[in-house]
Amino acid sequence: MANESVSSTGIVIRRVQEAEKDAFKALRLRALAADRMSFASTFEKESKYGDPQWQNLTRRAATSTEMVVLVAQPRDGPFVGMVGSFAEGNVTHVWGMWVEPEYRKLGLGGKLLDAILSEIDASHPANEVKLGVVSSSTAARRLYANRGFTETGHTEPLEHTPSVNWYEMVRRRSG
């Protein structure tokens, strides 16, 4: 991915910058508060993070080849979507996929996912790509399946809500 791409909706998808700690923190906390069951973490947990934790996260997300966070942003507006990835050995994990409710159904989730998969393909071309999704997230599961992800059969309860399971999905590489 180049530095940024502009979707047909005029929304820019780009890598978060280190100096955008506060804007990223606000987006992440909105996501955790709005869609609690979509994340392994919680608003309660991450709202207690101090500035050094958020600064370290955005620094790594902005500069590392092992961790990337992409944000979606209307020109001159606040962030409205995000997705991240981190590499662990021969597996890269996609995490934190979220789009503000009023920006859903515009194809933005697909554009974010395509952009992070492009980043992963460029930096870790041999890696399997894994993610977790809850069964009630039908649209997300469909989006991932349309991008070549399949369920592995591995499930685990959400730590914060053990009655809800997340399902592992993987995009395997051929060869």
- pLDDT of 174 reads 60
Hey, which residues does 96 pair with through a beta bridge?
Answer: none
What are the φ/ψ torsions at residue 47 (nearest 5 degrees)? -70, -15
Which secondary-structure segment (H or E) carries 13?
Answer: strand 11-15
Q: How is 129-153 classified by DSSP, letter by letter?
A: EEEEEETT-HHHHHHHHHTT-EEEE
The CATH number that applies at residue 109 is 3.40.630.30
Q: Which residue has the tokens 């700690």?
A: 21
| pLDDT < 70: residue spans in the chain | 1-9, 174-175
Please give the pLDDT value at position 9.
65
Q: What is the pLDDT of residue 6?
A: 52
pTM: 0.91
Range of the domain at 99: 4-171
Number of domains in the chain: 1
pLDDT score at 2: 41
